[in-house]
Structure 1
Amino acid sequence: MPDYKELYLKLFRASEEAVNRLIAVQQECEELYLSQDEREGAMEPLTPGKARSAEAE
């Protein structure tokens, strides 16, 4: 008979590791974005109007 408690705990631990990894990578990306913003000046988000005009050129 399978040990359901152990199966549940194994799945829970793996889920927790995955969430923690995603959080860590998100924080790394935020730090890279902020450091890039300081080095290269303010970055402007691309607005839909600007995207269309750039494609038309």
Structure 2
Amino acid sequence: MPDYKEMYFQLAAKVANAVDILIEAQQQGEYDYSEEESTVISLKKNSRPEEKGSDQA
């Protein structure tokens, strides 16, 4: 007769591992997105044209 308790625990452990992988993938995606957004914002800030005559005294 199969040991259903052992089979259940093995399944539960593998499901927990799968959930951990999915959470890690989500967090990495969020990090990558936030890094990309900050780069775009940074580039936009650096590409502003300088005002003429603002630093002339």
Q: Shared topology, TM-score over 0.5? A: yes
In 2: Cα distance, 1:21 partner to 1:5 partner: 25
Indicate the percent of aligned positions where both proteins have the same amino acid: 39
Q: Identify unmatched segments of 5+ residues in structure 2.
A: 42-57
Backbone CA RMSD of aligned residues? 0.5
Deviation readout 1:4-31 (Å, 9 max, x if unpaired): 1100001000000000100000000000
TM-score (norm 1): 0.70
Map 1:13-52 → 2, pairs under 5 A: 13-41=13-41
In 2: Cα distance, 1:30 partner to 1:12 partner: 27
In 2: Cα distance, 1:24 partner to 1:39 partner: 22
Q: Identify unmatched segments of 5+ residues in structure 1.
A: 42-57
Return the index of the structure with the highest Cα Rg.
Answer: 2
SS in 2 for 1:2: coil
Instruction: State the aligned residue count.
Output: 41
TM-score (norm 2): 0.70
